[in-house]
């Protein structure tokens, strides 16, 4: 009888405390001419993979999954589909940092000899992600990635949130839609002891805010309902053209990021630029409730459809935590094999 067990080759990495599980092999080639089409196929036909790797006993909803796929763009060295508790974000800073580090440290993309910067181009569902890896003694010590153009889609919105009253926010695209909220207005200092309260507030806010909010991107079409709320602390100037701010990102449903998040930082930069608070070449260091940090740097202004937009770069570091083989038994009652079995590569036949 043919084996019902399947094997996935995984590299787990963390950036700022957020864990990305990078699936290196074990999944059949996905239909689709681009990484975006592959992601939408997976969302439509193969969501069992996301559910498997982000649910007990195989995973945790606070993690992310990055599936390595064949890129379509001739300049890209690898493609990756991002999966989180909220679904399939088109771009993510921390996931890009982890994926680039895993590909380089594993040798899937060869590390160049000698110290210094190594440029890598990846293809996310949103398009090309241009990465610069700082390498010291054969180890990737930091990643700078140019994120998606971010733009302010709507300003000064408000929604009535049960037990919290009227909540004001701005809606910003930075690879996904973010609701940006002034944390101090609602009594939060964004410290480590507030994580449970922030998660509960984020959950109530997103549920209340989603109806009626835009879901369209000028180039990418329907990108789904609001997935993120980013809580902004006060700005503090720490040098010439350098700022620092406490930050926290809620991912619906029920996850408060351990890192300050790359796309959350990009969204904050776009809002600051809109308000005239930051200029080209200046930077913002965001600090999560757990104390991890990303640095966002303003690169240049651009345009997305009718929206003035901002290009920025996010710098952070990732650490490889584990290289493993995950065995999936399709007969396990805790495994939903209905749309999973066609995705996973069957074991090679052996001949007597």
Burial class (CB in 10 A: 0-12, 13-18, 19+), 290: middle
Which contacts qualify for 111-120: CB closer than 8 Å, 24 or more apart? 111/135, 111/138, 111/140, 120/77
List the domain boundaries for the chain.
5-146+320-324, 151-315
For residues 215-228, give the mean pLDDT: 93
Question: DSSP labels for 182-232?
Answer: EGGGGT----GGGHHHHHHHHHHHHHHH-TT---EETTTEE--S--EEEEE
3-class secondary structure, 349 = coil
Split at pLDDT 50, 70, 90, the class of 349 is: low
Q: Which CATH architecture has domain 5-146+320-324?
A: Roll (3.10)
**pTM for the whole thing?**
0.93
Identified catalytic residue from 15, 20, 64, 92 = 92
d(CA 22, CA 8): 10
Give the model confidence (pLDDT) of 179-221 as tens digits.
999 999 999 999 999 999 999 999 999 999 999 899 999 998 9
Architecture of the domain delimited by 151-315: Roll (3.10)
Kindly state the DSSP code that residue 111 receives in the 8-state scheme: P
Percent of the chain predicted with pLDDT > 90: 92
Q: What is the pLDDT of residue 10?
A: 98
> Does the annotation count 15 as an active-site position?
no
Asked whether the predicted pLDDT for residue 1 surpasses 50, the reply is no
Distances (CA, A) of 2 to 235, 306, 348, 349: 60, 56, 10, 9
Q: Residue 338 has what pLDDT?
A: 85
């Amino acid at each position: 009888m043919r084996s019902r067990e399947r094997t996935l080759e995984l590299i787990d990495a963390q950036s700022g405390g957020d864990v990305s599980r990078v699936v290196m092999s074990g999944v059949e080639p996905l239909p689709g001419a681009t990484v975006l089409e592959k992601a939408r196929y997976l969302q439509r036909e193969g969501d069992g993979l996301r559910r498997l790797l982000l649910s007990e006993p195989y995973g945790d909803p606070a993690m992310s999954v990055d599936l390595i796929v064949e890129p379509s763009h001739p300049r890209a060295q690898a493609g990756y589909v991002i999966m989180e508790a909220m679904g399939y974000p088109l771009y993510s800073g921390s996931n890009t940092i982890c994926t680039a580090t895993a590909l380089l440290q594993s040798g899937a993309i060869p590390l160049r000899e000698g110290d210094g910067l190594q440029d890598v181009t990846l293809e996310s569902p949103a398009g090309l992600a241009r990465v610069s890896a700082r390498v010291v003694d054969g180890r990737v010590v930091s990643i700078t990635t140019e994120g998606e153009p971010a733009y302010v889609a709507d300003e000064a919105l408000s929604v009535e949130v049960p037990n919290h009253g009227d909540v004001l926010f701005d809606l910003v695209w930075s690879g996904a839609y973010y609701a940006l909220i002034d944390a101090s207005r609602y009594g939060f200092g964004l410290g480590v002891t507030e994580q449970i309260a922030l998660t509960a507030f984020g959950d109530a806010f997103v549920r209340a805010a989603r109806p009626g909010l835009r879901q369209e991107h000028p180039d990418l079409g329907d990108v789904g309902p609001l997935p993120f709320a980013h809580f902004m602390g006060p700005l503090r100037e720490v040098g010439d053209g350098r700022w620092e701010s406490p930050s926290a990102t809620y991912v619906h449903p029920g996850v408060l990021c351990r890192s300050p998040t790359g796309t959350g930082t990009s969204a904050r930069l776009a809002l600051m630029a809109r308000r005239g608070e930051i200029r080209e070449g200046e930077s913002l260091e965001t600090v999560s409730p757990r104390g991890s940090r990303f640095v966002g740097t303003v690169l240049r202004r651009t345009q997305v459809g009718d929206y003035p937009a901002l290009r920025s770069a996010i710098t952070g570091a990732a650490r490889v935590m584990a290289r493993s083989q995950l065995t999936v038994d399709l007969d396990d009652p805790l495994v939903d094999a209905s749309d999973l079995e066609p995705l996973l590569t069957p074991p090679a036949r052996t001949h007597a």
